[in-house]
């Protein structure tokens, strides 16, 4: 039987990045989780259906976080005077090691997932840890929450402390196990996750690329985030032309759908490959600043027509709420603009687009309210004095800047309230 959901309220979303689509006091109809249309007057054939009327509240697409580390959730806001490689060595690996402990993993991943959903993220690309058992728990916890996610067991077989790396064999075996177990899941699915080139041998990368191809599984990793990291990649992979080439030559750069975090210092050849291979890049503004990697040249990439999404990069970024990442992306664009006026600032609609439809396209038709898209939505209640005085775009901008989970009064994934 068809599952029909009809909600009414002030609907706002971005179909294209440069403007908001606003439908005040409209109905949005979802059938079996897929949006059928938006109407001012309810079509006659739905007359007898119940309508969830949200009154003055506004309805927006759920947030999509294209890059974060569940196993770093406890260290948000710590070690924030360090740069990337020291931060990994001094804080991160030690925490990630603990996820071998099943009861620890259960407790922390539950807290992580609760916060993710509370803040309105309904789709995410998530790194677990190197622990296969721990990552299996992450799959289960996320399945329970009802949101959509790609989840990766982190692959590392060199250049990290012994207590956290695996042999190439173990790393592949665990990855294969999770792929076999979860590849046919509806919403929480596996993604191949070499941490980054420096902690991978060529052999590991090669075999991960083969797994990606064999099972048609997407890929996520980090690329070109930090100058020391890039120099290190050059030294470790002398036969590769550049950082991107390391992934590309092993079938980990767009051969299956691929999302790469950061990409701050990509050269011309690398950017051509990003575009040609249709690789999605994730802008992680908080992380760019916190571990002082640099600022992704977002405007340049947008002008090139690259596919971009937003990431909280917990815990390089310190806030899991994606509206905060949207705001920080705007703020960083203003800093860039003050130095280089030719790089225009990011508008509210552009930032919103990145965190909804931009990232959402990695999951198929999500992140928008166009016909045929999955109905993933947040219902937002703001202060009545703001609601009464301002238009929809101003109200949304205000929510992005100062709102939080207290303003989110309902969450829908594929037409089901969660």
Note the residues at the interface with ligand GUN (CB under 6 A). 69, 84, 88, 92, 195-196, 222, 225, 287, 313, 316
Residue 59 main-chain phi, psi, to 5 deg: -120, 125
Contacts of 253 (CB under 8 A, 6+ apart): 219, 244, 247, 260, 273, 277, 279
261 vs 408, which CB is nearer to Fe ion? Answer: 261
Identify what 244 binds: ligand GUN, Fe ion, none; CB under 5 to 8 Å per kind. none
Smallest gap, in angstroms, from Cβ of residue 316 to Fe ion? 5
| Strand residues in 32-158 grouped as ranges (E) | 34-39, 52-61, 63-69, 121-127, 148-152, 154-155
Query: How many residues are listed for the chain in this entry?
Result: 418
Q: Does residue number 313 form part of the binding site for Fe ion (CB under 5 A)?
A: yes
- Contact range with Fe ion by CB under 5 A, out of 41-49, 156-164, 307-315, 322-330: 307-315
- The count of residues interacting with Fe ion (CB under 5 A) is 2
Interface region with Fe ion, contact rule CB under 5 A, candidates 175-183, 201-209, 257-265, 331-339: 257-265
Per the CB < 8 A criterion, the answer to whether 38 and 23 are in contact is yes
Residue nearest to ligand GUN (CB): 316
Q: Torsions phi, psi of 218, nearest 5?
A: -70, 170
**Rounded CA separation 58/233 (Å):** 47
Query: By C-beta, is 270 or 397 nearer to ligand GUN?
Result: 270
Half-sphere exposure of 384 (CA within 13 A, CB side): 1
| Contact partner, 92, from Fe ion, ligand GUN, none, Cβ < 5-8 Å per class | ligand GUN
Q: Which does 349 bind (CB under 5 to 8 A by kind): ligand GUN, Fe ion, none?
A: none
Q: Which of residues 33-62 bind Fe ion (CB under 5 A)?
A: none
Q: What, of Fe ion, ligand GUN, none, does residue 196 touch, CB below 5 to 8 Å by kind?
A: ligand GUN
Name the minimum Å distance from CB 296 to Fe ion. 13
Comparing CB distances to ligand GUN, the nearer of 70 and 413 is 70
Partner touching 65 among Fe ion, ligand GUN, none, CB below 5 to 8 Å by kind: none
Q: How far is the CB of 200 from ligand GUN (least distance, A)?
A: 11
328 binds, among ligand GUN, Fe ion, none (CB under 5 to 8 A by kind): none
Shortest distance, position 157 Cβ to Fe ion, whole Å? 19
Between 105 and 259, whose beta carbon lies closer to Fe ion? 259
Q: Which residue is nearest to Fe ion (CB)?
A: 313
Q: Given the complex with ligand GUN, which of 92 and 131 has the nearer CB atom?
A: 92
Between 59 and 289, name the residue whose CB sits nearer to ligand GUN: 289
Hey, which residues does 417 pair with through a beta bridge?
412
3-class SS string, 94-127? HHHHHHHCHHHHHHHHHHHHHHHHHCCEEEEEEE
Beta-carbon count within 10 A of 285 CB: 27
Residue 77: asked if its preceding bond is cis (omega within 30°), the reply is no
Q: Which stretch binds Fe ion (CB under 5 A): 18-26, 73-81, 144-152, 254-262?
A: 254-262
Question: Which pairs with CB-CB distance under 8 Å and at least 24 residues apart come from 357-360?
Answer: 357/13, 357/14, 357/15, 357/61, 358/17, 358/64, 358/307, 358/308, 358/309, 358/310, 359/64, 359/65, 359/66, 359/123, 359/280, 359/282, 359/309, 359/310, 359/311, 360/61, 360/64, 360/123, 360/309
> Taking CB within 5 to 8 Å according to partner kind, which of ligand GUN, Fe ion, none is near residue 368?
none
Radius of gyration of the chain (CA): 21
Q: Give the N- to C-terminal CA distance of the chain in Å, as an integer.
A: 20
The distance of closest approach from Cβ of residue 202 to ligand GUN in the complex, given in angstroms and rounded to an integer, is 18
Q: How far is the CB of 282 from ligand GUN (least distance, A)?
A: 10
By the criterion CB under 5 A, which residues form the site for Fe ion? 261, 313
């Amino acid at each position: 039987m068809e599952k029909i959901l009809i909600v009414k309220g002030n609907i706002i979303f971005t179909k294209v990045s440069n403007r908001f689509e606003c439908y005040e006091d409209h109905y949005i109809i979802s059938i079996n989780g897929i949006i059928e249309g938006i109407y001012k007057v309810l079509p006659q054939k739905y007359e007898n259906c119940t309508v969830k009327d949200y009154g003055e509240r506004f309805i927006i697409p759920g947030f999509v976080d294209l890059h974060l580390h569940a196993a770093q959730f406890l260290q948000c806001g710590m070690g924030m005077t360090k740069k990337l490689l020291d931060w990994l060595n001094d804080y991160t690996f030690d925490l990630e090691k603990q996820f071998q402990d099943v009861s620890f993993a259960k407790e922390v991943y539950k807290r992580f997932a609760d916060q993710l959903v509370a803040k309105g993220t309904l789709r995410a690309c998530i790194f677990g840890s190197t622990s296969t058992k721990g990552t299996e728990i992450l799959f289960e916890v996320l399945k329970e929450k009802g949101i959509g996610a790609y989840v990766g067991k982190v692959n590392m077989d060199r250049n990290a402390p012994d207590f956290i790396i695996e042999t190439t064999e173990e790393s592949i075996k665990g990855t294969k196990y999770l792929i076999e177990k979860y590849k046919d899941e509806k919403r929480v699915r596996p993604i191949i996750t070499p941490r980054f080139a420096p902690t991978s041998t060529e052999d590991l990368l090669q075999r991960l690329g083969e797994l990606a191809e064999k099972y048609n599984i997407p890929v996520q990793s980090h690329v070109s985030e930090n100058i020391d990291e890039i120099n290190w990649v050059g030294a470790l992979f002398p036969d590769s032309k550049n950082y991107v080439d390391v992934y590309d030559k092993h079938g980990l750069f767009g051969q299956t759908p691929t999302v790469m975090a950061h990409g701050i210092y990509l050269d011309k050849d690398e950017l051509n490959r990003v575009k040609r291979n249709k690789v999605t890049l994730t802008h992680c503004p908080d992380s760019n600043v916190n571990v002082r990697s640099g600022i992704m040249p977002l405007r340049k990439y947008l002008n090139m027509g690259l596919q971009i999404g937003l990431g909280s990069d917990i815990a390089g970024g310190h806030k899991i709420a994606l509206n905060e990442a949207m705001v920080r992306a705007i703020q960083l664009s203003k800093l860039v603009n003050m130095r280089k006026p030719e790089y225009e600032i990011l508008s509210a609609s552009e930032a919103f687009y990145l965190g909804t439809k931009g990232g959402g396209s990695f999951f198929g038709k999500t992140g928008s309210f166009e016909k045929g898209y999955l109905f993933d939505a947040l219902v937002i209640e703001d202060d009545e004095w703001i609601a009464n005085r301002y238009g929809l775009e101003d109200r949304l901008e205000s929510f992005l800047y100062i709102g939080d989970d207290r303003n989110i009064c309902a969450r829908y994934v594929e037409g089901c309230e969660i």
